[in-house]
Structure 1
Amino acid sequence: MIDMTLAEIAEAMSGTLVLGADGSTAETIVRGISQTDSREVGPGQIFFARRGEETDGHRFAAQAVDAGAALLVVEREVDDRVPQIVVAEATDALGALATEVVRRVRGRGNLTIVGITGSNGKTTTKNLIGAMAERVGATVASEKSFNNEVGGPLTMLRVDDDTRTLVAEMGASAKGEISRLTAMAPPHIGVVLTVGLAHAGEFGGIETTFRTKSEMVQDLPETAVAVLNRDDAYVSKMAELTSARVRWFGLHPEADVRATDIESSAEGTRFTIHADGESLPVFFRVLGEHHVTNALAAAAVGLELGLPLADVVASLEGATRAARWRMEVMGGRDHITIINDAYNASPDSMAAGLRTLAQIARPEGRTVAVLGAMSELGEYSIEEHIRIGLQAVRLRISELVVVGAEARHLHISAINEGSWDGESVFFEDQDSAFEYLERTLRPEDTVLVKSSNAAGLRLLGDRLGEAFA
């Protein structure tokens, strides 16, 4: 974070400064990063005591001070050992401070802000763009999947006067949340990847998802660039909603940055990238043809940042995985490959994962799909789990291992398709599934582990990866 005095921080968040027993004054400078988890606070940092659904950060303020916090942002006074800023609402104060920090750094003219939204692929694309931006200069990118009203501001507060690029995921579970994030850090480049059924239960349908994801491009000024997926019908419609210059990516022949000659294998994906009159071959080690779209989105941003296409390709070829628990290749013993892709799952990404499994399997081995529930689908949940079960059968996946009661419809659907006889098995818990797989996996098998984060199958994937390392 940039240097700011206690008085300036209090003014930015419309709070009341209460000095502590440590001798600080209103002109004392604070430069530490911000935290909302007292267990992660370090010396000189700011602790925001947020109230959540299950706990209250004020209960852990003393722990934060013991860990070295230099400032507490609170809704009531709690610990007089260090300065406190009393605010009406701590989460709003976090956003207000992020807005002011970004405004100051951006005003100095050296900061480019890249915002990324979409139903699938945000984290992968963010990581790819972050690597490209590092070639331009110091870069701050969202950690993990920090893309909401808390994670977004925490990322933004990490920028300082040396930062050249801020790469921020901008997610949403309700209308207006993306607009709130873009108001804090107005993008120079806004990327929209897909509009799908991820979080459909919270949004209330794909049309509402479209309107919500459109908030980013609607908020872009004429001087900005909208990087849009030409292959997605809903994203394509967003070109009509923005005054920014549009740069298309995708497989469509009209895309400004496009790919041809795509070939997938267990080692990665080969394709030819075309942009600005140039064409170059790419060997992209991230598994899955669906990640080519994310690579093209990142390439479009890299070119907008001023990188030549050769540097863009070099950056893509340097990526070895999408992110932790995203198409992460593990295992290896007896040529058994474990693909752990169980951090997020939507109908689109689940279908893409199954297609990848079918494409990259060794001819002498089996394909085994270990699937758990897709969360946040609301009224679409049963229908979409049934559809994935049907797809697994139609792709001729050798065996389906379904884990968890919330995914049972997926198992029943595969059985009812009628083309299998015992190739779909169901387990209530991960331990039972692990014991079964440890006993039955054969040399040359390729295994996909896929579920939403809430289902926790990423941990099962890790266990399998270790067991067959």
Structure 2
Amino acid sequence: MIALNLREIAQAVGGELHLHGSTLTPESRIDGAVTTDSREIGPGAVFVAKPGDVTDGHLFAPTAVERGAVLLIVEHLLDLPVAQIVVPDAVTALGDLATDVVARVRAAGSLKVIGITGSNGKTTTKNLLKAVLERVGPTVAARESFNNEVGAPLTMLGLTLETRFLVAEMGASAVGEIARLVRMARPDIGIVLKVGLAHAGEFGGIDATVRAKTEMVTGLLETDVAVLNADDPRVAGMAGATRARITWFGQNGTEGVRATDVVASATGTTFRLHLASGETRPVAFRVLGEHHVMNALAAASAAELLGVDIDLIVSALESVHTAERWRMEVMGGRDGVTVINDAYNASPDSMTAALKTLAQIRRPGQRTIAVLGEMSELGELAGEEHDRVGLLAVRLNISQLVVVGRAARRMHISTINEGSWDGESAFVETPDEAFDLLRSTVRPGDTVLVKSSNSAGLRFLGDRLGEFFS
């Protein structure tokens, strides 16, 4: 965090400062990291005691102090000899502090903020854009998927006065949450990737999802730019909801940043990149899956708006070979067995994309195996969407399907009920059972896709398979 004194921090979060035996004064300056995780505390850090669903951050405050925290942001005063700021709501205070820090850094220098939202692809696009921008100047971007009301402000609090670019993922599980994050970061560029059924159960349906994602562009000013997916009608429709200038990306249109000559393979995807300026270059993109080309186009769109040269954009895109841990992560190799671990998250759209990739990269005579688990947070749509994925596996002629977990069982049922399929489907209750089955049935040369929502835990199954076949 940038250096602020205790008085300034208290004012930013609307809290009451208590020195409580600390040797600090209201004018003492703090520049340590801010975190809600006591395990990440180091000397000079600020610990935000966030109440949680399972436990309460206040219980870990003593550990934070032992590890070197010099300031606690708490909802009630604790009997600890350390400076404390008491606030009504710790999560709100965290956001208020992030808002203040972003505004100070923007006022002090040349900070540009890029906000990214969408049902799928946020983390990949963030990583791609970070790879481009960090070649131009100091760049701060979320680690992993820090994109909610806690993770996003923690990312923003990593700014320094030298930071030139902030790449902020903005996720949500309810209407109003993205709007709050937009008010914190005040993006100069707002990217909307796609609107799909991810988290539709939490939002209350696709229409509510559209409203939530539209908050990215409604919060932009006339001087800002909205970067919209021209190939997604729901995203394209957001053009009428913003005051900002519009620029487009996609594969099907003729405007904005585009890709042509797209060819997917087991080593990545090649395509020709066309910038809005008319400049064009071939790209050998090593991130597996044709669907990630759209994320590359979104990143290139923002980079072009920020004045980055096309050759630098292409070089940076080509340097990235994995979207993120557990996202189309290629593992294995022994006996020609390839394991694709894509089990960090899953929605109907991302599940479809992963299965299509599996089918696309299959070589003649090669077997493909899809190990699939639950797609969570779909609400009343869960049954029919799991059915649809099972039928898609049949229609793509996937050689073997292994369905893991009772919540995903309808995938298995829908495939065995499809009389036109001469493939096989197996159902197991647990990842351990799946591992035992696959260990004995995978043949040399097979390609195995592991895909599920995070909650199903199949990412660890993917790791076990990758290690076993390495």
For normalisation by structure 2, the TM-score amounts to 0.99
Q: C-alpha separation between the residues in 2 aligned to 1:377 and 1:22?
A: 49
SS in 2 for 1:160: coil
Q: 1:187 maps to which residue?
A: 187
Q: Does structure 2 conserve the Cα–Cα contact (< 8 Å) formed by 1:136 and 1:305?
A: no
Q: C-alpha separation between the residues in 1 aligned to 2:99 and 2:170?
A: 14
> CA-to-partner distance for each residue in 1:23-55, whole Å, 9 max, x for gaps?
111111100111111122111110001111211
1:28 aligns with 2:28: yes
> CA-to-partner distance for each residue in 1:262-317, whole Å, 9 max, x for gaps?
11111110011111111111000001110000000001011111111111111110
Q: 2:315 maps to which residue?
A: 314
Letter in 2 for 1:64: A
Q: Does structure 1 conserve the Cα–Cα contact (< 8 Å) formed by 2:75 and 2:87?
A: yes
How many Å apart are 1:22 and its aligned residue? Answer: 3.4
Q: 1:176 maps to which residue?
A: 176
Identity of aligned residues (%): 63
Q: C-alpha separation between the residues in 2 aligned to 1:212 and 1:144?
A: 22
How many Å apart are 1:422 and its aligned residue? Answer: 6.2
How many Å apart are 1:385 and its aligned residue? Answer: 0.1
Q: C-alpha separation between the residues in 2 aligned to 1:33 and 1:416?
A: 55
Structure 1: stretches of 5+ with no match in the other structure: none
Q: C-alpha separation between the residues in 2 aligned to 1:269 and 1:6?
A: 51
Alignment of 1:296-445 (within 5 A): 296-420=297-421, 423-445=424-446
How many Å apart are 1:254 and its aligned residue? Answer: 2.5
Q: C-alpha separation between the residues in 2 aligned to 1:363 and 1:458?
A: 28
Q: Does structure 1 conserve the Cα–Cα contact (< 8 Å) formed by 2:18 and 2:85?
A: yes
> CA-to-partner distance for each residue in 1:108-160, whole Å, 9 max, x for gaps?
24100000000000000000011111022000001110111100110010001
SS in 1 for 2:137: coil
Alignment of 1:204-223 (within 5 A): 204-223=204-223
Q: C-alpha separation between the residues in 1 aligned to 2:209 and 2:90?
A: 28
Q: C-alpha separation between the residues in 1 aligned to 2:270 and 2:62?
A: 54
Q: Does structure 1 conserve the Cα–Cα contact (< 8 Å) formed by 2:62 and 2:80?
A: no
Q: C-alpha separation between the residues in 1 aligned to 2:20 and 2:110?
A: 36
SS in 2 for 1:283: strand
Q: C-alpha separation between the residues in 2 aligned to 1:43 and 1:419?
A: 64
SS in 1 for 2:113: strand
Q: C-alpha separation between the residues in 1 aligned to 2:372 and 2:222?
A: 44
Q: 2:271 maps to which residue?
A: 271
Q: C-alpha separation between the residues in 2 aligned to 1:369 and 1:105?
A: 47
SS in 1 for 2:85: strand
Q: C-alpha separation between the residues in 1 aligned to 2:454 and 2:157?
A: 26
Q: 1:292 maps to which residue?
A: 293
Q: Does structure 1 conserve the Cα–Cα contact (< 8 Å) formed by 2:109 and 2:162?
A: no
SS in 2 for 1:39: helix
Q: C-alpha separation between the residues in 1 aligned to 2:298 and 2:177?
A: 22
Q: C-alpha separation between the residues in 1 aligned to 2:202 and 2:120?
A: 15
How many Å apart are 1:421 and its aligned residue? Answer: 5.1
Q: 1:3 maps to which residue?
A: 3
More divergent stretch after superposition (305-314 vs 448-457): 305-314
1:56 aligns with 2:56: yes
Q: C-alpha separation between the residues in 2 aligned to 1:40 and 1:85?
A: 20
1:14 aligns with 2:14: yes
Q: C-alpha separation between the residues in 2 aligned to 1:314 and 1:301?
A: 16
> CA-to-partner distance for each residue in 1:70-104, whole Å, 9 max, x for gaps?
10011111133110001111111101100100111
Q: Does structure 2 conserve the Cα–Cα contact (< 8 Å) formed by 1:362 and 1:444?
A: no
Letter in 1 for 2:100: E
Structure 2: stretches of 5+ with no match in the other structure: none
SS in 2 for 1:443: coil
Q: C-alpha separation between the residues in 2 aligned to 1:305 and 1:468?
A: 43
Q: Does structure 1 conserve the Cα–Cα contact (< 8 Å) formed by 2:50 and 2:74?
A: yes
More divergent stretch after superposition (269-278 vs 121-130): 269-278
SS in 1 for 2:280: strand
SS in 2 for 1:434: helix
SS in 1 for 2:427: strand
CA-atom RMSD, angstroms?
A: 0.9
How many Å apart are 1:202 and its aligned residue? Answer: 0.6
Q: C-alpha separation between the residues in 2 aligned to 1:363 and 1:79?
A: 69
1:158 aligns with 2:155: no
Q: Does structure 2 conserve the Cα–Cα contact (< 8 Å) formed by 1:365 and 1:443?
A: no
1:129 aligns with 2:122: no
Q: C-alpha separation between the residues in 2 aligned to 1:261 and 1:302?
A: 22
Q: C-alpha separation between the residues in 2 aligned to 1:111 and 1:88?
A: 31
How many Å apart are 1:365 and its aligned residue? Answer: 1.7
Q: C-alpha separation between the residues in 2 aligned to 1:232 and 1:41?
A: 43
Letter in 2 for 1:104: R
Q: Does structure 1 conserve the Cα–Cα contact (< 8 Å) formed by 2:331 and 2:466?
A: yes
Letter in 2 for 1:85: I
Q: C-alpha separation between the residues in 1 aligned to 2:429 and 2:343?
A: 17
Q: C-alpha separation between the residues in 1 aligned to 2:363 and 2:67?
A: 52
Q: Does structure 2 conserve the Cα–Cα contact (< 8 Å) formed by 1:269 and 1:286?
A: yes
Q: C-alpha separation between the residues in 1 aligned to 2:185 and 2:382?
A: 34
Q: Does structure 1 conserve the Cα–Cα contact (< 8 Å) formed by 2:138 and 2:164?
A: yes
1:116 aligns with 2:142: no
Q: C-alpha separation between the residues in 1 aligned to 2:110 and 2:311?
A: 24
Q: C-alpha separation between the residues in 2 aligned to 1:96 and 1:5?
A: 16
Q: Does structure 1 conserve the Cα–Cα contact (< 8 Å) formed by 2:399 and 2:423?
A: no
Letter in 1 for 2:104: R
